[in-house]
Structure 1
Amino acid sequence: MNLKIMHIGEYVKGGVATYLQEVVKYQNENREVLNLKVMLSDTNSDKNFSMNKEDIEAYPYERNIKSIIKAMFYVNKNIKEHKPDIIHIHSTFAGFFVRVPLLFQKKRYKVVYCSHGWAFCMETSALKKKVYEIVERVLATRTDKIINISSSEHEEALKRGLSYEKCELIHNGISTDLHEGDIEYRIDPSKINLLFVGRFDRQKGLDILLKFFESYQNHNIKLHIIGESILNNDDIKIPSNVVSIGWINHEHIDSYYKLFDAIIIPSRWEGFGLVAIEAMKNKKAIIVSNRGALPELANTSNGYVFDLNNLDTLKELLDNLNKEELIVKGLNGFNEFEKKYTSKKMNTEIIKLYKNIL
C-alpha cells in the first residue's frame, strides 16, 4: 500500500510536538508510506521533524478569528494541491479550521482527528464545555476516525455523544531511546528527591504544589522543578525545600530523570501525561493527581495517586515514602511502559487504523 499522508497541526509544541515527532519519524521510515507532508503554524511550533524539510509547510498564523479564517483557506488550498489519501489532524483549533470547510464541500480523502486532550475536559465553565461538545459533535460528521490518547479521554468522548464507531483508543507512546548527556546538576542523596517537569501554567498545577511545599515541613523531602524559570517572577515564592532548575536541553532530559527518586505530576487536567511515561521509561515511580488520564497511568505497582482537592492525601503519601519502595515501583513502571506506551506500539496501531478506513 502506497499511503499519501498529510499531518496538520496548529501550535505544534509540547506534548503535541513530541507525539507528532514520533509519528513522523516512524512514517517517514515506513515503506508503506509513499508521501508524507506536515503543515503547522509558523508561530509557536517546533519544526524539528525527521523528514525532508521541503515537505514541512509552515503557514502564517496567530490565534485570532482573522488568522483562523486565513488558515482555513490556506490549508484547504494545500490539501487540494497535494491530494493526500489521509489527513491526520492534531489538536482542537486545527480540527476546527480543517474540518469546517468539509461541511460545505465533497470530502475526497479520509480524515483522522486527534484532539490531544478534549477541550470539554478542561477546567472551564459548563457553558464553554457544552459549546466545545456541540462543535466536536458537528465536526465529527466529517471525520472518519477519532483517536483518543487515553481511556479517560475515550470514555469522555463517548459520554459526550461522539460516535462509538468512529472513536478509537490508541495510547500515546514515546521512543525507547534515551536522551542523555553530561549534566552538572547534583542532588543530596540522603533526601528523597522529587522532580516536577512542565510548563508553569494553570493546567500543570505547579502553583498548587509550591503552595503545598510552603507549609510542608518534612526535611527528608526535596522538590526540584524543570520548566520555565520562576526565579524572576515576583508573584511566586519558592520555599526552602524547593529548587528551580529552569529550562534544560531536552536532549539531556533522561539524564535528569535518572537523578531523582520519583516524578510528581499535580495537573488540574491532563489528556494523557507524557511526563509520566517518560518517568516510567527511566524506571522512576510516579506521584500523580487524581485528574484526567493520570490515575490510569499510576497504579499501586508503579506509583501513587493523591486527591488534588484534599492535599492531606499528598502529605500522608509523602510522609510514608521510602527509597526502596520507590525503586521497586520504578522498575514496575518500566515494565508497564514497555508493554503499553512505546512509540512502536502506538505507530503500528495508527497505520493499522489508516488501512482500515481506506
Structure 2
Amino acid sequence: MPRHSGGEPLRPIEILHAAETGIGGVNSVVIGLGQKQIGRLGEGSVHVLVPRNHAAEYAGTGIVTHVFERRSRSVRSFVAFTFCLAGLLLKLRPSFVILHSSFAGLAGRIVLALFWPWYRPVVIYCAHGWAFTMSVSAQRARIFAGVERVLARLTSAIVCISEAEYHAAIRFGLPARRLHLVPNGTPRPDGAPCPTPYPRLDGTINLLFVGRLDRQKGIDLLVTALTNAPFLPISLTVVGRAVTDPVKLERLSNITYIDWLRPQDLAPYYAHADAVVVPSRWEGYGLVAAEAMSFGTPVVASRIGGLATLVEDGVSGFLFDPASASELHDVLSGLDRETLMGMRTAAFRRWEQVADIQDMERRYFILMQSLAANGHRVKEIASAADIVGSQAESR
C-alpha cells in the first residue's frame, strides 16, 4: 500500500459519483466512466448515488450503488438527495466526488461546503448541458449563469463535455482556471453478431430515435416532419419515454414506440438502423449520436452544441437547423440507403477519433492526478496522485 512521507499507510482511493437520475445520457456516462475507473483502481473503489427507482440500471456494473427517493424533480427529491449525500460523505469520506447535472451540482456543492472545516475532497462538477444555454429568457440565463459562477468557488474543477459547452461557459463568465474540456465518450461495442429488430421492407429506410420524449430532445420536430411527408419510405423506431417536459406526438402507422431498453438490448437497434436521428433543440454533447457512430451508424442531427462538431455534415451524417421546419424535411426526403451505407465507415472512424470512452477516462484520470497534486485533496491523503499512479502501474 502507498505511504506518505511519514511512513503511515494511505487509505484507498474511493470515487463517489452523484446524479439526480439513473437513466438516459448521464447514466450512460457514469456507468461507462465508473467501469473504466474500477479497471484502474480496483473493485469497491467506485460508488454512485442515484434514485432508488433507477438503481437496477447499475446491476452487474461493479459500481457500488446507493439510493435516494425521487419520483420527480421537486423540493422533496432535492432534500432526499441532500441528506443521502451527506450520509455517504460521513460514511465513505471519498477522495473524489463527481457531481453530474445541475441538480446534483447545486445540492452537492452546498453540502460539501458545510463539511469543509473537517473534510475536503476533490470536487468535480459536470453540468452535462448548461441551463443558461437552453431555450430560456435572457434574464433566466443570466440568473442561471450567476448561480454557476457562485458555485464554481466551491468546486475543484468544472468539466465541459464539448467545445460548445466550454465556450459558452467562458462567454457567461465562469472562471476559466476551473474549466476543463473532457468530451463525453461511449464504450466500444463488443462486436457480437445480433439479428436485426427491424422488418426489412423493400426500399424502406429504418430510422432510430433514442432518448427522452421531451421538448429538449426535439422528438416532436421529427414526428411533425414525418407527418408532413406521409409518402416518404421511412420507418421510425422511437426508444424512450417522457421524463420532464413531455410533448404531444402524433401516432403514425410508420412509427413504433418502445420503452427504455438496457444497453445490451439497444445494441441491435443501433447496429441495424440505416441512420439515427438526434433532433435536439439544445444539447451539450449528444451522447446518442456518439453511441450510434460507435456502431458505424450515420447520424442526422441538429446543428447545435456538441452535435455540430461530432457529426461531419455529408461525411458521417447530416446536420440541419432545428429552428427550420423545412431543413429536417429536406434531409429526410433526400435520404437513401446506399448513401447511408457508404457513410458507415466514416461514422465509425469519427467515433474512434473523438468519442471513445477510453479517451474520456484518460482525461479524467489526468485531471484527477493534477488536482490532487496541486492541493485539491482530502486532508488524510498526502498525495492522491501517487496512489492513483502507483495503482495504475501495478495493473
Same fold (TM over 0.5): yes
Q: 1:332 aligns with which of 341, 346, 349?
A: 346
CA distance in 1, matches of 2:136, 2:62: 40
Distance 1:141 1:39 in 2: 23
Q: Which residue of 2 aligns with 1:8?
A: 18
Match of 2:185 in 1: 173
Q: Return the structure number with greater relative CO, CA threshold 8 A, min gap 6.
A: 2
Equivalent of 1:303 in 291, 312, 317 = 317
What are the superposed Cα offsets for residues 28-66 of structure 1, whole Å, 9 maximum, x if unpaired? Answer: 12147883322223244554155557x322133453324
Does 2:326 match 1:312? yes
What amino acid does structure 2 have at the position aligned with 1:77?
G
Number of paired residues?
353
Distance 1:165 1:234 in 2: 39
Give the conservation status (yes or no) of the 8 Å contact 1:6–1:84: yes
- Indicate how the Cα distance of structure 1 residues 119 and 327 shifts in structure 2: closer, same or farther if over 3 A, else same: same
TM-score, normalised by the number of residues in structure 2: 0.81
Whether 2:151 is the aligned partner of 1:142: answer no
Offset of 1:259 from its aligned partner?
Answer: 2.6
- The aligned residue for residue 69 of structure 2 is 60
| Residue identity matched to 1:142 | L
Aligned residue number for residue 109 of structure 2? 99
Of the candidates 129, 145, 155, which is equivalent to residue 117 of structure 1?
Answer: 129
Q: Deviations over 1:224-249 (max 9, x none)?
A: 323349xxx99532334x32142364
Q: Is the 8 A contact 1:28 1:50 kept in 2?
A: no
Quick one: structure 1 residues 353 and 32, their matched pair in 2 at CA, closer, same or farther if it must change by over 3 Å? farther
1:13–1:46: 8 Å Cα contact kept in structure 2?
no
- Cα gap change, 1:180 to 1:140, in 2 (>3 Å): farther
Give the structure 2 partner of residue 39 of structure 1.
Answer: 49
Aligned partner of 1:157 in structure 2 is 169
Per-residue CA distance 1:101-134 (angstroms, 9 max, x = gap): 3445435211111111112122223332222211
Letter in 1 for 2:184: N
Q: Distance in 2 between matches of 1:132 and 1:244?
A: 37
1:198 aligns with 2:211: yes
Q: TM-score with structure 1 length normalisation?
A: 0.89
- AA in 1 matched with 2:132: F
Asked if residue 75 in structure 1 is aligned to residue 81 in structure 2, the reply is no
Amino acid at match of 1:26: K
SS of 1:30's equivalent in the other structure is helix
Would you say the 8 A contact 1:172–1:272 is kept in 2? yes
Corresponding position: 1:48 with 2:62 = no
Aligned residue for 1:270, secondary structure, equals coil
Structure 1 position 98, deviation (Å): 1.2
C-alpha spacing 1:77/1:302, structure 2 compared with 1 (3 Å):
same
> CA contact under 8 A between 1:3 and 1:34: conserved in structure 2?
no
| Distance (Å, rounded) in 2 between the aligned partners of 1:68 and 1:20 | 20
State the alpha-carbon separation in 1 of the partners of residues 344 and 214 from structure 2: 27
Moved more, 5-14 or 18-27: 5-14
Equivalent residue letter for 1:59: F
Does the 8 Å CA contact 1:4/1:33 hold for their aligned counterparts?
no
Per-residue CA shift, 1:63-110, capped at 9, x if unaligned? 332442353243223213322221111111111111113445435211
Aligned partners of 1:46 and 1:160: how far apart in 2?
37
Alignment match of 1:273 (pick from 270, 277, 286):
286
How far is the alpha carbon of 1:348 from its aligned partner? Answer: 1.1
8 Å Cα contact 1:306/1:314 also seen in 2: yes
| CA deviation profile, 1:133-160 (whole Å, cap 9, x unmatched) | 1111111101011111111111111111
| Pairing partner for 2:229 from 213, 216, 222 | 216
Q: Given that residues 58 and 65 in structure 2 are in contact (C-alpha distance below 8 angstroms), is that contact kept between their aligned partners in structure 1?
A: no
After superposition, the C-alpha distances for 1:245-281 in whole angstroms (9 at most, x for unaligned) are 4236432222122332211111111111111112111
Aligned-pair CA distance for 1:180: 6.2
Q: Is the 8 A contact 2:31 2:61 kept in 1?
A: no
Residue 177 of structure 1, CA deviation: 2.1
CA, structure 1 residues 108+211, in 2 after alignment: closer, same or farther (shift >3 Å)? same
- Mapped partners of 2:355, 2:249: distance in 1: 35
CA 1:220–1:342: 2 relative to 1, 3 Å = same
Q: Secondary structure at the match of 1:258?
A: helix
Q: State the secondary structure of the residue aligned to 1:57.
A: strand
> What is the RMSD of the two structures over their aligned residues, measured on CA atoms?
2.6
Which of residues 130, 140, 145 is equivalent to 2:142? 130
Distance 1:108 1:46 in 2: 31
Bigger shift: 33-42 or 259-268?
Answer: 33-42
Q: How far apart are the structure 2 equivalents of 1:246 and 1:220?
A: 21
Q: Secondary structure at the match of 1:327?
A: helix
User: Corresponding residue for 2:259?
Assistant: 247
The alpha-carbon deviation at position 167 of structure 1 amounts to 0.7
